[in-house]
A = this chain, B = another copy of it.
Amino acid sequence: MALEICHHGFKPWQALQAHQDRMQPGSFGATATFVGTMRDFNEGDGVQSMTLEHYPGMTESQLQAIIDDAHQQWPLQDVLLIHRVGDIEPGEPIVLVACWSAHRAAAFEACRHLMEALKSRAPFWKKETLTNQSSRWVEKNTAGYSSH
């Protein structure tokens, strides 16, 4: 298990490769991952940059609790969670969640659950600077379990 609050840019696919290189090959059959990336638009406005604030101490303990909870609910071989904080530009990754398991159902469901739990429980806050130079706090996260 690895959990990281990242104060600089990170490369999710390289991080996955590096993490997996340390795992036992052949021991897992399913890897489900999610990467959240900063977009250059939100709610109809162009976004120039973003600052991600967090609550040092609580963020880590909440994320750890969320990961522990997932391990209780699903048979997971491993979990990797990286979350960016600080100043971010469009196109840069914000969050990476990856779950390794023997079978796909556990990996998919745990990965989804981790993201929903992170979005509702982990103390992070986004402030956007728009292309018109005004800034605003993102007021709430988008819906999780509905898309059709």
Interface residues in chain A, defined as those with a beta carbon under 8 Å from any beta carbon in chain B = 11, 13-14, 16-17, 20, 25-41, 73-74, 90-91, 102-109, 111-112, 115, 142-148
* CB atoms of B115 and A104 under 8 A apart: yes
Known: A40-B27, A90-B25, A147-B74. A142 touches B104 (CB 8 A): yes
* CB atoms of B91 and A25 under 8 A apart: yes
- Nearest B-chain residue to A90, judged by Cβ: B26
Copies of this subunit: 2
* CB atoms of B31 and A37 under 8 A apart: yes
Q: Which of A26, A28, A41, A91 has the most CB of B within 10 A?
A: A26
Question: In the complex, what residues of B have CB within 8 A of residue A37's CB?
Answer: 26, 28-31
- In the complex, A11 Cα to B14 Cα: how many Å? 11
Q: Separation in Å of the A110 CB from the closest CB of chain B?
A: 8
- In the complex, A148 Cα to B28 Cα: how many Å? 18
